[in-house]
Structure 1
Amino acid sequence: MSKKMKIFTAGVLGIMMAGLVCTNVYALDNKDVVGTWYANSLSMDGMNEFHPNAIMMEMSMEISEDGKGKVTTSSESEEADVDDFEWKIDGDNIVITASDDEVMEGTYEDGKITISMDGMAVTLGQEKEEYKPYEPGKALTDTKLEDFDGEWSSSIMSAFGMQVPTGTLFDMQFNLTIDGGKATLVTIESGTETTTELEGDLDTNALVLKSTEEKTEEKTEEKTEEKTEEDTEDYSLFDTDTMRLYLLDDGKLCFTSADSMDDPEETQEAADGEDSEDSMDWTVKVFFDKLEKK
């Protein structure tokens, strides 16, 4: 190698090393985080993300130059809650100490701050992103029994005015295999897997499946007396005694706890005998995606 080439090579390597050193010693600066931040994404497991408005929640953070700040959280059913906190920069992280002395660490990357709190990861940006919920397709009217055949996996759950990916907020996932009016439903709830066999037929444009397992009722006075108040108030979010499924024109399959897809609010109002505007809509919907055959 010539002397000139050696000098050129050494110079290039020197520039590269200097760049690496600069990258390694770079620390987050106060100016990067001071300002107003809006929660645009929540995640329960680092995989399934959803907008805070999906659970009727909003959150913002005011980070001030004096090392103090305020976090505001609100929901449709409650007044806004404002909490004070203190913050400081530690390398590439922002360390937040809440008013109750809870310490949370946030990471800064690409103009976003991600903070882990109460088992949930919150990602904030300095622009408030618009919430765009999934708009279900219309139920197909001209359906045949074989149209429902296939393997289906739940992707979205809508309940109590909230709409989130299944497996997150409610910690429930459903896999459904349908073949000629017979079905196998695998429910995964909090890591526990349950398999239910179902069978049914078309009711107009809905596939109505019923569990093939017979339930026996305890008729002895002793068993009746053993029932607690908790037993009588038990509520099942997802009832497999009778499943009413609809094919939608966007390709999804929908389970609904209402009597039809036409007007679930009217159905619930009639069932409860209450004004739907003043009562909780208990209608549950689970949307399934069809899996492609390998």
Structure 2
Amino acid sequence: MCKKMKLWAAGTLGVMLAGLGSVNVYALDAKDVVGTWYVNGLSMDGENTFHPEMMGMEITFNFTEDGKGEMTNAMEYSDPEVEEMEWKIDGDKVLITKNDETVEGEYSDGTISMDADGMYFIMNQEKEEYEPYVPGNVVEEPKLEDFNGEWKSTLMDAFGMQMPTAAGLSDVEMTISISDGKASLVMIESAVETKVDLEGDLEGNALILKSTTEKEEDSESYTLVSTDVMKFYLLEDGNLCFTTEDSMDDEASDTVDATDTADATDAEEALDGDDEYDFGDIDFTIKIYFEKLVVE
């Protein structure tokens, strides 16, 4: 190769490498950060992400030009909590200091994500609207075999909130295998696994299953969901619904079966009259929705 050609090739390679370097390194600037950021995603395990409004929360970070700001956590039934913070840029990271603790926020393409003591935040400067799950109508005249299949819990509706069961927030995950009125249930609650066999039949449009597994001696401790008698409904959207309610009528009762959720009722009564909380017309019924697994 002639000398001129070698010089040209070397110059071209240098330009290409410089171009690659400019692509891989982003110079984060204060103007990219200043303003209000909305937390549009939360995760407890780093894998399953949900919108904070599922928990009745709105979390915002307000970054001001002087390197200070505020984090606001607004809960649906209590006054907003506002905490002061300081921030600065370090490369492509935003360092946020609050209560003498500093966490790193990773900036990428208009998104800041960070891990704060096991709680993962994903935020943007545009608020994403949350669309709650609206269950389908109850199938009016199901057959017993319509309930057959493998079902896995996906969502819990309780205490005025919707929570993904896989996110570790509700502390309850369930899988149930149903075959002609017989069922095998695996429930993980607070990291404790329980296996229960059940058997039952249709009563109206509900499948009522009663446990045939003998309880252990130490099983009297409180659980959010009782497996002694379980009521399931098929929904027109293809999902299955377990409920502690006596029916799935449009006018749901505001009370809960005391054998299922006594502690929840006690908690409500204990906080009754506290000006910080306003429970309003919260429905304390627990509903858990299941999706049908496709077995290949």
Aligned pairs for 1:36-185 (under 5 A) are 36-98=36-98, 100-168=99-167, 169-185=169-185
Give, as a single letter, the amino acid of the residue that structure 2 aligns with 1:238: V
Once the two structures are TM-superposed, the CA of residue 194 in structure 1 deviates from its matched residue by 1.7
1:268 aligned residue (223, 247, 255): 255
Give secondary structure in 2 for the equivalent of 1:238. Answer: coil
Give, as a single letter, the amino acid of the residue that structure 2 aligns with 1:291: L
Once the two structures are TM-superposed, the CA of residue 125 in structure 1 deviates from its matched residue by 0.9
Once the two structures are TM-superposed, the CA of residue 217 in structure 1 deviates from its matched residue by 8.5
Give secondary structure in 1 for the equivalent of 2:16. Answer: helix
Once the two structures are TM-superposed, the CA of residue 164 in structure 1 deviates from its matched residue by 1.7
Q: Which residue of 1 aligns with 2:235?
A: 248
Residues 223-258 of structure 1 deviation map (CA, whole Å, 9 limit, x = unaligned): xxxxxxxx7xx6421111111001100000110110
Once the two structures are TM-superposed, the CA of residue 267 in structure 1 deviates from its matched residue by 6.1
Residues 24-59 of structure 1 deviation map (CA, whole Å, 9 limit, x = unaligned): 543321111111111111111122111111111111
* CA spacing shift, 1:292–1:8, aligned 2, 3 Å: farther
Residues 85-133 of structure 1 deviation map (CA, whole Å, 9 limit, x = unaligned): 00011111111111x2121211111201112224211111111111101
Q: Which residue of 2 aligns with 1:290?
A: 292
What TM-score results when the alignment is normalised by the length of structure 2?
Answer: 0.85
Q: Is the 8 A contact 2:176 2:185 kept in 1?
A: yes
CA distance in 2, matches of 1:140, 1:241: 24
CA distance in 1, matches of 2:48, 2:217: 40
CA distance in 2, matches of 1:76, 1:112: 25
Identity %, equivalent residues: 54
Q: Is the 8 A contact 1:258 1:264 kept in 2?
A: no
* CA spacing shift, 1:171–1:19, aligned 2, 3 Å: farther
The alignment yields a C-alpha RMSD, in angstroms, of 2.5
Once the two structures are TM-superposed, the CA of residue 3 in structure 1 deviates from its matched residue by 6.5
CA distance in 2, matches of 1:217, 1:103: 47
Give, as a single letter, the amino acid of the residue that structure 2 aligns with 1:112: T
Give secondary structure in 1 for the equivalent of 2:28. Answer: coil
Aligned pairs for 1:187-206 (under 5 A) are 187-206=187-206
Q: Is the 8 A contact 2:245 2:256 kept in 1?
A: no
Q: How many residues align?
A: 276
Give secondary structure in 1 for the equivalent of 2:252. Answer: helix
- Find out whether 1:15 has 2:15 as its counterpart: yes
- Find out whether 1:236 has 2:219 as its counterpart: no
- Higher mean alpha-carbon deviation, 170-179 vs 190-199, is at 190-199
CA distance in 1, matches of 2:204, 2:26: 65
CA distance in 1, matches of 2:256, 2:231: 19
Q: Is the 8 A contact 1:264 1:283 kept in 2?
A: no
* CA spacing shift, 1:172–1:270, aligned 2, 3 Å: closer
Q: Is the 8 A contact 1:140 1:248 kept in 2?
A: yes
CA distance in 2, matches of 1:289, 1:108: 35
* CA spacing shift, 1:97–1:267, aligned 2, 3 Å: closer
* CA spacing shift, 1:241–1:20, aligned 2, 3 Å: same
Once the two structures are TM-superposed, the CA of residue 190 in structure 1 deviates from its matched residue by 3.8
Once the two structures are TM-superposed, the CA of residue 216 in structure 1 deviates from its matched residue by 8.4
Q: Which runs of 5+ in 2 are unaligned?
A: 259-264, 270-278
